[in-house]
């Protein structure tokens, strides 16, 4: 009799968790706790974008720096890569004249999302430049190498690197800061520091 009572008690204890929690409930709770949808689901969509930037630049063989303005349109195919086409102007006052540089370029740009607040970007671009010198007839002590840049067409490569910071209260808008090193095929180099905004559609 005692033996049967012990067996009944053991059976009752073993059956208690199963009676209290069904297998479906346990499985459901497990899946809710370990739901990986938010981790594995990609929220990125291929998208076109535009950015506008302004800043300051310095050419190595020029006595003065000058202001620069850039506008680019691009298409981000995947989260880490985009193609971008742009225009940049760089204006320098020197030798009682004004040198106006115009750059037209295409670039391959690589993005790396550091976290939800910062994205890094690096690009390689190649393009065509056109330079003219305004007020050249009034130049003062300008070297021949400078005067020869009037109505000059050439090529260049550029290597921008930068950071983007999403603006919290405006969807798809980011603040960006860039450093650009450019090298013309004639051998002159330029350094630019710019900041601006990028909007993705």
187 and 97 within one domain: yes
Residue partners of 126: CB distance under 8 A and separation at least 6: 105, 106, 107, 155, 156, 157, 158
Average pLDDT for 50-68: 95
Q: Which range of residues forms the domain containing residue 150?
A: 42-200
100 and 55 within one domain: yes
pLDDT, residue 23, reads 46
pLDDT surpasses 60 at 36: no
54 and 86 within one domain: yes
Whether this model's pTM surpasses 0.95: no
22 and 46 within one domain: no
34 and 47 within one domain: no
CATH number at residue 83: 2.40.160.20
Q: Confidence class of residue 8 from pLDDT cuts 50, 70 and 90?
A: low
pLDDT, residue 19, reads 44
49 and 22 within one domain: no
Residue partners of 153: CB distance under 8 A and separation at least 6: 128, 129, 130, 131
Kind plus residue range of the DSSP H or E element containing 62: none
Least confident span in 33-42, 112-121, 155-164: 33-42
Average pLDDT for 108-129: 97
* Average pLDDT of the chain, as a whole number: 85
pLDDT, residue 91, reads 97
């Amino acid at each position: 009799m005692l033996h049967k009572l012990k067996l009944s008690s053991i059976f009752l204890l073993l059956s208690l968790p199963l009676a209290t929690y069904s297998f479906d409930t346990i499985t459901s709770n497990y899946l809710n706790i370990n739901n990986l949808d938010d981790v594995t689901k990609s929220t990125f969509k291929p998208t076109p974008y535009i950015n506008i930037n302004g800043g300051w630049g310095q050419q190595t063989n020029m006595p003065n720096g000058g202001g620069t303005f850039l506008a680019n349109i691009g298409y981000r195919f995947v989260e880490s890569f985009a193609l971008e086409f742009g225009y940049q102007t760089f204006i320098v006052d020197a030798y009682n004249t004004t040198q106006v540089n115009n750059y037209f370029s295409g670039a391959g740009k690589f993005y790396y999302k550091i976290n939800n607040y910062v994205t890094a970007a690096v690009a390689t671009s190649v393009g065509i430049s056109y330079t003219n010198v305004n007020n050249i007839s009034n130049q003062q002590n300008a070297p021949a190498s400078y005067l020869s840049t009037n109505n000059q067409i050439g090529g260049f490569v550029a290597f921008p690197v930068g950071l983007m910071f999403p603006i919290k209260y405006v969807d798809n808008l980011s603040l960006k800061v860039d450093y650009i090193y450019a090298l013309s095929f004639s051998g002159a180099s330029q350094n630019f520091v710019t900041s601006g905004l990028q909007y993705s559609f």
